[in-house]
Amino acid sequence: MEEPPAPPVAEAPPAPEAPPAASLSQQNAIGSAESYLDFSAFSRTGLIGQLEFEGFSTEDATFAVDSIAPDWNAQAAEKAQSYLDFSTFSRQGLIDQLVFEGFSVAEAEHGATAVGY
């Protein structure tokens, strides 16, 4: 007596491709972004702009900032405190200043709340 044929074996889907390794410029942009955040708080757009000012392309600057993915609410709180360390602001004035620096309204409001407003 013959055995029935074995059911077909489903092939495993191909493994997703690993993201490409960061280029030298992207690695350097990451290093610069981390260095900037070591001594000052930045918004996402502010940090990208700083890296562009330093000569990195928009693509490399954006890659770097997105790679390190800082907590933008924490950055807003740190920036808010740094403003209050040398000047006085109303709650709305502080929020407006943080928005001017590139933080979202929600991030700016978080920053103002974090420092006591």
The predicted-structure confidence for 45-73, as pLDDT tens digits, reads as follows: 999 999 999 999 999 999 999 999 999 99
Residue 16 has pLDDT above 60, yes or no: no
How far, in Å, are 25, 29, 97 from residue 117 at the CA level? 41, 35, 14
- How many structural domains compose the chain? 2
The pLDDT value given to residue 21: 85
Is there a single domain that holds both residue 106 and residue 76? yes
CATH of the domain at 77: 1.10.10
Half-sphere exposure of 55 (CA within 13 A, CB side): 2
Cα 85–88–93 angle (5° rounding)?
115
For residue 50, is it within any domain? yes
Residue 6's region, left for phi above 0, alpha for psi from -120 to 50, else beta, is beta
Is there a single domain that holds both residue 58 and residue 47? yes
CB 90 within 8 A of CB 115: no
Q: Which domain holds residue 60?
A: 24-70
Q: Which residues of 72-97 are buried (b: 16+ CB within 10 A; e: fewer)?
A: bbebbbbbbeebeeeeebeeeebbeb
Is there a single domain that holds both residue 66 and residue 77? no
Residue 3 has pLDDT above 70, yes or no: no
Is there a single domain that holds both residue 66 and residue 85? no
Is there a single domain that holds both residue 62 and residue 76? no
